[in-house]
Structure 1
Amino acid sequence: MAIALTFLLLLLSLDFSSSLSIPLGSTLHASSDRNHSWYSLNSAFSVSFIPTATPGSFLSAVLFSNTVPIWSPGTVDSGGSLRLLRSGSLRLVNSSGATVWESGSENEGVTSASLEDSGNLFLRSRKNTTVWSSFAHPSNVIVPTQPFTVGKSLRSGSYSFHLTEEGSLNLKWNDSIVYWSQELINNNSSSNLSSPSFVLERNGVASIFDSSGVVVVSVRSNDYGEGEEGVFRFLKLEEDGNLRIFSVSKGGEIQTQTWVAVADQCQVFGFCGNFGICRYDGFVPTCECPSENFVPSDVNDMRKGCKRKVELEDCRGNQGMLDLNNTRFLTYPPELSTQRFTLGTEACRANCLADSLCFASVLMADGSGVCFQKLSGLVSGYKSPSVPSTSSLKVCKPVSPYSTVEKSDERLLIRALIIALVVIATVLCLVALLGALWCCCCRNSLQFGALSSHHTLLEYASSAPMRFSYKELQRCTKGFKEKLGSGGFGAVYKGVLVNRTAVAVKRLEGIEQGEKQFRTEVATIGSTHHLNLVRLIGFCSQGRHRLLVYEFMKNGSLDNFLFAAESGRLLNWQYRFSIALGTAKAILYLHEECSNCIVHCDVKPENILLDENFNAKVSDFGLAKLIPSDKRYWNMSCVRGTRGYLAPEWVANLPITSNSDVYSYGMVLLEVVSGRRNFEISDETNHRKFSDWAYEEFDKGNSKVILDKCLQRDETVDMEQVTRMVQASFWCIQKHPSQRPSMGKVVQMLEGIIEMAKPLAPNALADIRDTENS
């Protein structure tokens, strides 16, 4: 009886629908029936089929919670099946019997298959050893405890993910172009990288270990350590070429992205296919063709790229260069088919046009003058107002960047609208002129002839900067008597115009430009209008005198409220958040929305002014361009050397871009929250810089201690906003410019529109400290 009972239990253990052991000869058929699956003992994982987006097609996979694929050998039609053959091989076949995939374990002594509680599907031998396992042959997903070693890869379409022998993680296109790499940033002499391995842990940390088990580099998901028992995390290489970590609730119903390798999707090589240009439509990356010289390869899928209407071979001798402003053709290493030169704009284009092998060129507009010329390979483009590059494509003439096909009635309508606008504008100007003359005569009792020299309301209402004489500004400031402050470009004095308008007059120092060039730059500054930018009213360029006249800000600069505690001038939290958001929007406008991209170069509390309603107004924008190019690095010490706001690339003498402003803004943002200078050292911070100490407290989840002590007992303070601002500030002050968000994303972070991953420690702080002390 006991023997019979034992035999019956053994037979039940071989029932693959309810136990770990899967006997030889078992078969799963393609269907959506979850009752026909192989399950792990804890029932969290199963081997099954799920339908794909293509009708009649099924994906064979190891699933978490019956919904999330973590390993897959491929897809089959509705008559397909997954078979564990009696020979010991696991085989996926179509309805015709054609093999789609096979484990290659035939005649290796396999006696059964099993699905572990970790999600690992493996084939066992009679000695209970593992002959083959899904963990050892990953598809496009890594799950917790699954080791990922050198020689293995994740694959999705043309993209792959690898671990190198040097301990770096790489994303590749077509197994050649490395477009993302997580370098070994904290290696030391004790680390032995002869056999590095990569593991995703259950708490949301993905780490590279050396052969002795020491962590040499790691990244964290933004829900690190949260709900470990009820959350399943997995790392996935998706079809768009990006690597992401997802968190899934216990039921597998909600998937949340908690980390992404390439924050800017348009930086993924080949995302839009050959000749495809990636740009953002709002927050969504979209693909388009460069011009009317190209057509989509597939009108239903723009990610498949574009093709020329006329091939270059068919128009020899009638070729031209199509210019694409604010566009870069991605040039990731190793691209042996790409040549690099140091040339100007015209030479870069001309060299490519003259070279029969060259079909595209990229000129870096970052001051380096570097010109890339592509001789073969795929052209992957990225277009954005913030991209400092001009790219050119060789095409058959005529070069057609925009549509030139218009109906005659549309042209007539446009001309009629233009004429109507000119007439209306002329009438409005005459009315404004007559009104201004009447106001001046009645209110100020001035003679008509004196109107021009005193710059009355008519000129002040104009959007163009007015021109003042030096004597007029000397008189309106009472001989530059009342000094409001001083900065990197000179001192500022209070003045009152003839029309009784209060102004701030800045006397510029170190400006040696000719009058024509100076007025050109001033016109650019004067045409830049935004709610959160200080308005330029006028200027003076007379002899050696260079002065700028701004609107007067009643409440002065932000630093007077943040750091002058003894004055009793305290900003409540609502004002601080409004000031931080307004400043971010102003810098975003300078970088991406005004007609000329302007890098401020000196973002700090002293250059953030407050009007009578405590609205933030950024000042001194555009002044960096007034410095002579041959003295810029000498004279820029006043502009870029403001202690505590200096981006690391200034110190390293690297090209300065809009990302430098993002770093400075991040420093200001932390000071707005804390009410303390970032370089302040005290007993509370263990005699370390406040910004270093603040990150450690933030990393512990203790954002409240970073908040200004004057506000910590204020119950009206929105701690969610505090945490967002602190987290955004540490993203902004990352060491590498590419890791910092754009100002557009910073605004979204502050407004809570997008979720933020947890930032790494901004280790640039130590670099800056060492440089300043040297």
Structure 2
Amino acid sequence: MDILNSMIIVAYLLLVSSVTVSSAKVSSVTVSMAVNDSIGMSKSISDDGNDKTIVSKDGVFELGFFSPGSSMKRYLGIWYKKSSMYTVVWVANRDKPIDFVSAGILTLDITGNLILTQNDSVVWSTNSQRQAQNPVAQLMDSGNLVVWNDGGPNSEDILWQSFDYPSDTILPGMKVGWDLKRGLEWRITSWKSPNDPAPGDFSWGLVLNEYPDFYMKGRTRLNRFGPWNGLYFSGFRDQNPSSVYEFTYVTSYDAKFPSNKDEIYYTYTLKNTSILSRVHLDQTGGFHFYIWAEEDQQNWELYEMYSSRDQCDNYGVCGSNSKCLIDESPMCQCLEGFSPKSPQEWDMRNWTKGCVRTKPLTCNDISINDIFVKFVALKVPDTTHTWLDENIGLDECRARCLNNCSCMAFSNSDIRGSGSGCVLWFGDLIDMRQFNTKQTREQDLYIRMANAESQSESKMNIRTIVAITIPTLCGVLLLSVYVVYRIRRNLVEKSMVRDNIEKHVEDLPLFALPTISMATSNFWIENKIGQGGFGPVYKGKLSDGRQIAVKRLSRSSGQGVTEFINEVKLIAKLQHRNLVRLLGCCIQGQEKLLIYEYMANGSLDSFIFDHTKGKLLSWPHRFHIILGIARGLLYLHQDSRLRIIHRDLKASNVLLDDKLNPKISDFGMAKAFGGDQTEGNTNRVVGTYGYMAPEYAVDGLFSVKSDVFSFGILLLEIICGSKNRALSYANNTYNLVGYAWTLWKEGNALQLIDSKIKDSCIDSEVLRCIQVSLVCVQHYPEDRPTMTSVIRMLDSEMELVDPKEPGFFPRKVSNEAANQNEISLNNEISVTSLDGR
């Protein structure tokens, strides 16, 4: 009997084929026996080895049985058929899989219910209670599996539809919210793992508070979109219109949708219906908006990601009666009129207990009314304890709040036009965030304060005014002298910069300062997206709709002017898909600005060194990034007009666009050679410790091979998800290079793989990349390959040479030395004299 069972299992395994998808690896899908687009009462599909399926009319979606990843369990699901990757978007029996011993069968009974059985036992079924008349189950080109009465399709003929029971994916036209009439919730829930589609740890949906709000939930509430105020979600006020899709939020009380009385939901539609799309909630709680635009496309392209932007998006991070300001230190601050409930814990940056009033309210004293203080550009508080009336205005709203001692705040619920509706908050105010930019229309929040607060704030001590005024006048006099000096110096500096740029770069657009100032909201702090040795970088939007990144030369920078001119001269005429594109510059007054194309996903280091975001970069993504960086370097070294050595290649200088394509940036430290020159030397060593080649850090010698060394370090970091700093292994302390070299010699190189990507790795591909990285970081430049060879080694099956001992390989160091090493290997820009590590 054991032998017979083994033969059955082997025969079953030979029937299945491996197909990879983005949300799961489907290891068993065969599509050769499709049964048109519907199932009637006389038809069925079964998992008996013939793998019958049904396919939507235009071949967009397919319904059948599959096994995710390495699982041996079988599930009934719907996947995209029109793309070359079978991407599962819906699963029927998520938590009740079918084993492989006997086949599952899907039938439609006379009552209009779909029934999935195995060995005559019901595994899963629909629950339609409506009267059925010759029902038919049809798979639509929208991805919706619909059971109609005979004579459909019309909405009134629908007995049941899969769109009412989402899995981990939102498709165009699907709803997330509530059908109030049926008491039905449309909520999406992540898979438990790539091998198990059972409901996982994360879900996203609409909570029916009096003032409804969208929440992302794990074991607790993780983050909150904020309620809809008629124009935008309170916590996502900066969402830009998309050229690909448009979304709609529908409420049962919105006059814009007079026919809708029974539903509250979010949905999106595509502007170009020829594009395939999906919004996927993964096992880490991250949203991914994917598109498939071309027939010959090989992978889903990541269009947008929706996840916590920063700590201020974490639910209730600052406790009650406080607000979160991400660019302030500390980021949590009590509201005016409140102070920390536990000052000691607050000073230790434990803000969870929040804030309490410094003066009691005077609600019960009719002679002294409380006041309301207006707050603007706030994410309004959690709406769990609210009251809503869409038919009254702000004045009556204020009166109702004032007459209720439990009411702590009020606002218009709809800010369109002159504002309408009333929402009141009761009890503590939780999960507020302060934004630094203002919208054209704001949802102003009025928070109740004790009347004494306004009186105390209006008084000021005369001595304090005098103490401030006299030093200020002295300071103004000194400042005037300094300003005259700076103006003269800046005129000379400005002339030097402009002359250099006009001399070397004739066609580079020069932007006017007001244009850039307007695009970045006058360099508003919330638009700041980075900081380097050059100065801060801001996100902006030009009047023609183009998004830009503006690099602003820090006025206090000891470097900068030389690097500014250098970067303009070198990168202005470089054109390569893996190099960030310079759009222009601005030299006006004291401002020196570089304007680049905007990279939506920021720098590579923000992904690979982050525990949560690192999970979003699977191994295929990382390998794509590795090849892109290599091709960008090859262009600099060999194919550009001048031979360019970057000298500061590192994770933070690799930017990712909206499709996760890598682009090398920051050419302030780069050197250009003409003709056949391939190397040079300097007694001003610049760059980042941890990425510098030995001959450069010690002797100031740089060449294309010093960039290759930096690439090798970066390649290891992408594989490991760790920075090149002190690591402990077998009672010895190594940097990442030494750790990799030791594991390689022991035959344990796969231990280097970042745990966040192990499930998506192809071992042979990763081992090849590790070997290439070790070849790149060899001690002597002549032993290192060129970037031409690197790309050939990465992108083919050629036999690789064995690496020699790498440069800067610490064999064993003390704890004290390890600590020093960790400091020296931090990714900080260093401009230093000719001293080695």
Output the TM-score relative to the length of structure 2: 0.35
Output the TM-score relative to the length of structure 1: 0.37
Larger radius of gyration: 1
